[in-house]
Structure 1
Amino acid sequence: MSQEFHRIKRLPPYVFAEVNALKSTARAAGQDIIDFGMGNPDQPPPKHVIDKLVETLGDPRVHRYSTSRGIPGLRRALCRYYGERFDVDLDPEREVIVTLGSKEGLANLAQAITSPGDIILAPNPSYPIHAFGFIIAGAAIRSIPMGPEFDFLEQLERAVRHSVPRPSALVLNYPSNPTAEVVDLDFYGAVVDFCRDHGIYVISDLAYAEVYFDEQPPPSILQVPGARDIAVEFTSLSKTYSMPGWRIGFCVGNPDLVAALGRVKSYLDYGAFTPIQVAATAALNGPQDCVEEMRQRYRSRRDVLVSGLAAAGWPIPSPPATMFCWAPLPEALREMGSLEFSKLLLQEAQVAVAPGIGFGEYGEGFVRLGLVENEQRTRQAVRNIKSFLRSSGIGPEDAKVRNIAS
């Protein structure tokens, strides 16, 4: 029996699947693929976190069902983090909930607050769940173009003015995946003022709060006075402590939105495995030198990749934050588009990247490179890309490539 399911029909083909299929085929054929395609940390979590997990596993009581909202100690640890990092005082009972990673939290919040036909404002390009979590829930998405050529607040005002019905929520993500763009507290203040005036909730994704390379750390929207009247924020331990497979994240802020998420989650899960939550508590409460080591590791990889590609004839911007470089295609190859360029780079240079079109229409013309390979592998990738560019008639002296930086 052939059946077209309504919600599935609203999801386009997964762009990244084409590159992933080619990557799997190449590896099956014995090729050494250097994979910059996924933001998947290559280092283990800190030793004291793993030790706490192992220790907790020995307690026979922890193997029962956990609690969907998260164990109290982990919620209190997250409150402590927000107090020390952002000077934001959270109530662990009403304003904090533990999620199975930010992705699950965003999708379940979308189910909790979205009615069919609601309009949600989402950045474009953006991490796919920011738009598609709400599309799955039945919403219509109005994109807010992102990039240096756009004034975000101007685009936001325009989107609200031309939307019927009025948008119910705005999704933000800074530092941004995929563009690595950062904003300051004044930006958040302007967004909060605008959205409060128009009755729009704000959902902030702060997953890369600790992956920054400038002296000034990224702020939280909850630092804005009154932000909790309309805003929640998602954070994650995945990148900060190299714990992506552990699936531990948080939603904090507006108590009504937190409660709505908790109501949906109570029907869907019993929370993360208790030993993982205990170990996550140890990550937040324990020594934080591992976080600075993480930043130094990604900074060093960033510098190797950016300087190496510039020398190879492909200058790309140096990201101020996140574990990604957002790279415009070499001008001589721009017409082929980001998906075909990504496939060609995989086939000819054995380097996997994420095509920008997978992050939305305004991502076309770019690829995202993850800083997830060590420096030696990164240098090898640069050599492979340099050979590929030369075979395509592009080199360090190519005028078209140099124009990208201008």
Structure 2
Amino acid sequence: MYARRMGDLPPYLFARIDEMKARKISQGVDVIDLGVGDPDLPTPPHIVDALCTAARNPENHHYPSYAGLFAYREAVAEWYGRRFGVDLNPASEVLALMGSKDGIAHIPEAFINPGDYVLAPSPGYPVYQTSTLFAEGKVHEMPLLAENDFLPRLDLIPKDVRKKARLMFINYPNNPTSAITLPGFFEEVVDFARENDILVVHDNAYSEIAFDGYRAPSFLSTDGAMEVGIEMHSLSKTYNMTGWRIGMACGNAEILAGLGRVKTNVDSGVFNAVQHAAITALLGPQQPVEDACRIYQERRDILVKGLSGLGYEVTSPKATFYVWMAVDDCMGFTARMLDEAGIVVTPGIGFGKGGDGYVRFALTRSSERIQEAIERMRGISP
């Protein structure tokens, strides 16, 4: 019944976790969900108010522009200039997305022919691989190893793969490892892309969730980056707007035109009222972002201290709301956590072969619930 490509797709990890969680809840278990990275903090009230006002305006009830309201693209350009020092032309170098997943899912369709390679991090966001499979491309996994600070070794990519590679995904701050980029890495990526005629897509959805004074850079602020790539970003994590489905792709105008051409043929634009609310988020007060980071940092400290006190080896992340921890058997550990403690964590293998031997905790529950999870974990070995 299904197309052959469906057989190549792995089950979507987070859907499986939801099923496991639902089964436990139906058994009366009080489950603490530290699995999927969906912020539990509410969208700031001034953004909600802006949506309500815009939704009452009949002018916003029509089909939206595929590229996004020009006012929204202007707001994105202004935010990028203020936050990263990147100068963007809102008319050609900014494209509205229904969240960054939208852009990641569509871009291989614009640039990948059957048999072309896409370079994707492993572990990595699963959509990097699934979008490649839908475009009938081949995935070459770039291992992210602890000994390399979870950065890919571009020099280890085989020459025959480089010749057939058309696109590379990178992601820093990184999901799931919570690693940050190091000085010189983005420059190395630009040089590699130029030498091998490869398009770069940087997934920067977690740039604003940072701790201990760290400020994540934009790939586009690197010399030459605008010539070889684009950056996907989202309001989901920054402003607790995961369900609103609003994001942006920025950078090289020709690459964005290809992405936009796919989108105009297969989906629609973002509801105008949501775009007006997003303008308010980008141009309005940023104190809610700082407040959220303080909350996540407090939760991070409780979790890391608690795990360390239980004998686990864990590194305190400087960005994202994830904690990445090595274990002997990620699937076995995940099962024991749910069965013995009623805690949901994400097994690293779900992010690719490079995630085997790790689990991911999400800091998307209250400090009290995280502390309770630590107490429940006593006696569970890694």
Regarding TM over 0.5, the answer is yes
Mean Cα displacement is larger for which, 234-243 or 269-278? 269-278
TM superposition shift of 1:51: 0.6
Query: What runs of 5+ residues in structure 2 fail to find an aligned partner?
Result: none
Q: How does 1:48-59 map to 2 (within 5 A)?
A: 48-59=46-57
Number of corresponding residues: 382
Give the AA of the match of 1:367: V
Residue of structure 2 in register with 1:159 after alignment: 157
Aligned match of 2:191: 193
Say which SS state the counterpart of residue 320 (structure 1) adopts.
coil
1:212-291 map, 5 Å: 212-291=210-289
Q: How far did 1:18 drift?
A: 4.2
- Secondary structure in 2 matching 1:37: coil
Is the contact between residue 144 and residue 151 of structure 2 (CA under 8 Å) also seen in structure 1?
Answer: no
Trace 1:112-127 onto structure 2 (pairs within 5 A): 112-127=110-125
Contact 2:67 2:269 in 1 (8 A): yes
The whole-number CA distance in structure 2 between the counterparts of 1:45 and 1:18 is 27
1:350-365 to structure 2, matched below 5 A, reads 350-365=342-357
Q: Secondary structure at the match of 1:149?
A: helix
1:160, distance to aligned residue in structure 2 (A): 4.2
1:20 to 10, 15, 18: 18
Alpha-carbon distance in 1 for matches of 2:215, 2:277:
25
Work out the CA distance in 2 between the residues paired with 1:282 and 1:48. Answer: 8
Matched-pair contact (CA < 8 Å) for 1:202–1:231: yes
- Could you tell me whether the CA contact under 8 Å between 1:144 and 1:152 is conserved in 2? no
Q: Which of 60-69 and 366-375 deviates more?
A: 60-69
CA deviation after TM superposition for structure 1 residue 349, in Å: 0.4
Distance 1:51 1:133, change over 3 A: same
Distance 1:290 1:16 in 2: 27
Indicate whether 1:378 and 2:376 are aligned. no
Secondary structure in 1 aligned to 2:157? Answer: helix
Structure 1 runs (4+) deviating above 6 angstroms are 151-154
After superposition, the Cα gap between the structure-2 partners of 1:321 and 1:80, relative to the gap in structure 1 and judged at 3 Å, is: same
> Contact 1:19/1:343 (CA < 8 Å) preserved in 2?
no
Taking the aligned partners of 1:161 and 1:214, their CA distance within structure 2 comes to 40
TM-score for both structures, normalised by structure 1? 0.91
CA distance in 1, matches of 2:208, 2:269: 25
Q: 1:15/1:269 Cα in 2 relative to 1: closer, same or farther (>3 Å)?
A: closer
Which residue is 2:298 aligned to? 300
Would you say the 8 A contact 1:10–1:136 is kept in 2? no
Compute the displacement of 1:161 (Å).
1.7
Please state how far the C-alpha of 1:216 moved relative to its aligned partner: 3.3
Give 1:96's aligned residue.
94
Q: Partner residue of 1:109? A: 107
Query: What CA RMSD, in Å, does the superposition of the two structures yield over aligned residues?
Result: 1.6
Distance in 2 of aligned mates of 1:218 and 1:164? 28
Separation in 1, partners of 2:184, 2:159: 22
**Higher deviation after alignment, 337-346 or 245-254:** 337-346
Any idea what SS the aligned residue of 1:138 has?
Answer: coil
Post-superposition offset of 1:9: 1.4
From the superposition, tell whether residues 262 and 382 of structure 1 become closer, same or farther in structure 2 (CA, over 3 Å).
same
Q: Encode CA deviations 1:210-256: one digit per residue, 9 max, x unaligned.
A: 01113231111111122111110000000000000001111100111
Contact 1:184 1:219 in 2 (8 A): no
Aligned to 1:397: none
The equivalent position to 1:324 in structure 2, one of 322, 325, 336, is 322
Preserved contact between residue 122 and residue 172 of structure 1 (Cα < 8 Å): yes
- The answer to whether 1:348 aligns with 2:346 is no
Identity %: 39
CA distance in 2, matches of 1:283, 1:19: 31
| Deviations, residues 329-355 of structure 1 (Å, cap 9, x unaligned) | 1xxxx1xx2122211210100100000
Distance in 1, matches of 2:250 and 2:374, equals 40
Query: Structure 2 length as normaliser, TM-score?
Result: 0.96
Contact 1:39 1:372 in 2 (8 A): yes
Write out per-residue CA displacement over residues 282-310 of structure 1, whole angstroms, 9 at most, x where no aligned residue.
Answer: 00010111110011011010001110111
Return 157-166 or 178-187, whichever deviates more.
157-166
- Asked if the contact 2:143/2:152 (under 8 Å) is kept, the reply is no
Q: Which runs of 5+ in 1 are unaligned?
A: 395-400, 402-406
> Does structure 1 retain, via aligned residues, the 8 Å contact 2:150–2:179?
no
Q: Which amino acid aligns with 1:344?
A: R
Counterpart in the other structure of 1:338: 330
